[in-house]
């Protein structure tokens, strides 16, 4: 190698984020390639036994084994750290591997976690069902209410976990408010920033300690591979995460890291465009007869618009809306779409529609769904990269089909 094989451990941003996602973290081999290389290798060889010894002792910072680190994965981690403005980052095989690792690496039996009830289903499983098996208790609250965060704190509370905007009703949790309560009691705040994206929300600047992403969503943004990333201070990663990841091995494949690394180059362009289209579609849907509730964080009529303004730079790429005609209208709408696909994913180049009560949230009881604001008429739309005029025409096809379902019979069907 013509230059050091290891990137400077998360160097501070030199350029603006849109530039860092193109160049940040690039490592070039002796061939001086333009596009980043895919190092599809499990291990690394050493010129001498002494070199191997130095590598293992940490005197030489090169690579040892791809469960620990890999050049392509390291490029992705460094680029993510620069995008987020974080000191350091570690990649994982999926978003859930990132969430699980961020919690398990710092918790032990006897600890306590506080989290909102409104949360991505698998995150709820980890906190409500898995952690208690290992002696970590949890309290679930209404995350919008700062008093409930305060009241839930116990002497053994170690972590606050939250996502905002929430899935699927796009409620907002006050990151700065929650982080201030946490700081006062030495509690670590972990934010799942998937829905807002790094482009529109910076939890670390608002006082959070750790940010996690499912890179499967907007970071890939083209529906190809799973991935996750955890970002924090060098200190937190060294103290909690570094050894946990090396020894338990939820490692990101170098191939997937390469896809995600290249995807980052267009991440700001894609998310900006998807956000602009989401804002257009939200305005188009608002006030449509038959839609009882339209929720888009970028609109002035969002119930927490002032808080959105304080912590988000834009409304992001998801819209939720509820038909008065219940399930029949929601299904008629979804089935009439030609362009927008029925899928439970989000953040994709392709626009996707989801009916949470029968898919992502179907394991919840009707009462639990109702408590989260999910009813049979609710749909979640993830806005993609198609021409917005084509999307509007597609939405209009759906609206016509929903209107054809008589509200009376639709209510009965729901």
Ligand X SMILES: *Cc1c(COP(=O)(O)O)cnc(C)c1O
Omega before 165 within 30 of 0, i.e. cis: yes
197 is a site residue for ligand X (CB under 6 A): no
Output the smallest distance, CB 4 to ligand X, in A.
Answer: 31
Among 116, 221, 228, 250, binds ligand X (CB under 6 A): 228
User: Which one, 202 or 291, has the nearer CB to ligand X?
Assistant: 202
Instruction: Please identify, among the stretches 110-118, 119-127, 283-291, 372-380, the one whose residues bind ligand X according to the rule CB under 6 A.
Output: 119-127
Among 217, 240, 302, 361, binds ligand X (CB under 6 A): 217
Among 192, 209, 322, 394, binds ligand X (CB under 6 A): 192
User: Which 372-411 residues touch ligand X, going by CB under 6 A?
Assistant: none
User: Which one, 94 or 202, has the nearer CB to ligand X?
Assistant: 94
139 in Cβ contact with 131 (< 8 Å) = no
123 is a site residue for ligand X (CB under 6 A): yes
Strand 157-163 vs strand 188-192: parallel, antiparallel, or unpaired? parallel
214 is a site residue for ligand X (CB under 6 A): yes
Among 27, 73, 89, 96, binds ligand X (CB under 6 A): 96
205 in Cβ contact with 313 (< 8 Å) = no
Burial of 35 (0-12, 13-18, 19+ CB in 10 A): exposed
User: Which residues on adjacent β-strands are paired with residue 295?
Assistant: 320
Omega before 168 within 30 of 0, i.e. cis: yes
User: Which one, 188 or 214, has the nearer CB to ligand X?
Assistant: 214
Residues 368 and 391: their CA atoms lie apart, in Å, by 33
Output the smallest distance, CB 216 to ligand X, in A.
Answer: 4
> How many residues form the binding site for ligand X (CB under 6 A)?
17
Instruction: Please identify, among the stretches 12-20, 92-100, 268-276, 294-302, the one whose residues bind ligand X according to the rule CB under 6 A.
Output: 92-100
Among 70, 94, 197, 232, binds ligand X (CB under 6 A): 94
Structure tokens at 297: 């964080």
User: Which one, 218 or 240, has the nearer CB to ligand X?
Assistant: 218
Burial of 37 (0-12, 13-18, 19+ CB in 10 A): middle
203 is a site residue for ligand X (CB under 6 A): no
355 in Cβ contact with 331 (< 8 Å) = yes
Instruction: Please identify, among the stretches 68-76, 90-98, 197-205, 303-311, the one whose residues bind ligand X according to the rule CB under 6 A.
Output: 90-98
**Which secondary-structure segment (H or E) carries 20?**
helix 17-23
Cα–Cα separations (whole angstroms), residue 44 to 67, 185, 223, 261:
12, 44, 31, 21
Burial of 271 (0-12, 13-18, 19+ CB in 10 A): buried
Structure tokens at 199: 């482009």
Output the smallest distance, CB 122 to ligand X, in A.
Answer: 6
Output the smallest distance, CB 121 to ligand X, in A.
Answer: 9
336 is a site residue for ligand X (CB under 6 A): no
222 is a site residue for ligand X (CB under 6 A): no
Instruction: Please identify, among the stretches 52-60, 93-101, 251-259, 321-329, the one whose residues bind ligand X according to the rule CB under 6 A.
Output: 93-101
356 is a site residue for ligand X (CB under 6 A): no
194 is a site residue for ligand X (CB under 6 A): yes
User: Which one, 159 or 388, has the nearer CB to ligand X?
Assistant: 159
H-only helix segments in 163-266:
175-184, 197-200, 234-236, 242-248, 254-264
Among 347, 332, 331, 335, CA closest to 381: 347
216 is a site residue for ligand X (CB under 6 A): yes
Output the smallest distance, CB 112 to ligand X, in A.
Answer: 22
State the sign of the Cα–Cα–Cα–Cα dihedral 34, 35, 40, 45.
positive
223 in Cβ contact with 348 (< 8 Å) = yes
167 is a site residue for ligand X (CB under 6 A): yes
Residues at the site binding ligand X, with contacts judged by CB under 6 A: 94-96, 99, 120, 122-123, 163, 167, 192, 194-195, 214, 216-217, 226, 228
């Amino acid at each position: 190698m013509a230059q050091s094989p290891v990137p400077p451990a998360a160097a501070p941003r030199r350029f603006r984020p849109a530039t860092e996602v193109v160049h940040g973290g690039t490592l070039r081999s002796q061939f001086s390639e333009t596009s980043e290389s895919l190092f599809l290798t499990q291990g690394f060889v050493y010129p001498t036994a002494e070199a191997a010894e130095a590598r293992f002792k940490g005197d030489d910072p090169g690579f040892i084994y791809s469960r620990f680190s890999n050049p392509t994965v390291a490029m992705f981690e460094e680029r993510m750290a620069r995008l987020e403005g974080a000191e350091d980052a570690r990649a994982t095989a999926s978003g859930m591997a990132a969430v699980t690792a961020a919690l398990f690496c710092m918790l032990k039996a006897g600890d306590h976690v506080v989290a909102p009830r409104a949360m991505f289903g698998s995150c709820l499983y980890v906190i409500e069902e898995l952690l208690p098996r290992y002696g970590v208790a949890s309290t679930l609250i209404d995350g919008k209410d700062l008093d409930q965060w305060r009241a839930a704190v116990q002497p053994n509370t170690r972590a606050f976990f939250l996502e905002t905007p929430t899935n699927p009703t796009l409620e907002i949790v006050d990151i700065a408010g929650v982080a201030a309560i946490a700081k006062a009691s030495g509690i670590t705040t972990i934010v799942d920033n998937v829905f807002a994206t790094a482009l529109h929300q910076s939890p670390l600047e608002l006082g959070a300690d750790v940010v996690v992403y499912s890179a499967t969503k907007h970071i890939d943004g083209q529906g190809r591979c799973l991935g996750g990333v955890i970002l924090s201070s060098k200190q937190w990663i060294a103290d909690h995460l570094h050894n946990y990841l090396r020894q338990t091995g939820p490692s990101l494949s170098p191939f997937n890291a390469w896809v995600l690394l290249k995807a980052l180059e267009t991440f700001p362009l894609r998310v900006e465009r998807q956000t602009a289209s989401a804002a257009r579609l939200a305005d188009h849907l608002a006030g449509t007869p038959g839609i009882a509730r339209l929720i888009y964080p970028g609109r002035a009529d969002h119930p927490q618009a002032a808080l959105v303004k304080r912590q988000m730079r834009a409304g992001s790429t998801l819209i939720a809306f509820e038909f008065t005609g219940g399930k029949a209208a929601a299904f008629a709408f979804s089935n009439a779409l030609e362009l927008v696909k029925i899928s439970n994913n989000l953040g994709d180049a392709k626009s996707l529609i989801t009916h949470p009560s029968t898919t992502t949230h179907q394991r919840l009881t009707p009462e639990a769904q109702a408590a989260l604001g999910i009813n049979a008429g609710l749909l979640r739309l993830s806005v993609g990269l198609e021409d917005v005029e084509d999307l509007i025409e597609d939405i209009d096809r759906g609206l016509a089909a929903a209107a054809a379902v008589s509200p009376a019979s639709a209510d009965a069907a729901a």
